Amino acid sequence: MSEKKITKDMTFGQVLKDYPQVAPIFMKFGMQCIGCHIAISETIEQGAVAHGVEVDDLVNELNSVLTPSPEEEKSQDS
């Protein structure tokens, strides 16, 4: 199993900058405030707690939509 790219201690701003394709996952979990200037500096865990979301479920789903880069796939085949 590959290491998670997104962790609960990353900020919304960091995650959305690095992985903009995960925005719909935040929306699915009821976190429509991802564009809020305060939420950008909030950690995924802080946001999950504030919205009553199980942080591990959220992080797992966020990571599930990320596809490994060709370099990562190559190293996993070794």
Q: What is the pLDDT of residue 72?
A: 53
Residue spans per domain, the chain: 12-77
Mind listing the pLDDT tens digit for each residue in 24-76? Answer: 999 999 987 777 777 788 999 999 999 999 999 999 999 999 966 555 555 65
Alpha-carbon distance of 13 to 59, in angstroms, equals 15
Residue 37: what pLDDT? 76
pLDDT at 39: 76
Any idea which fold 12-77 has? SP0561-like (1.10.3910)
**Residue bearing the bigger pLDDT, 35 or 14:** 14
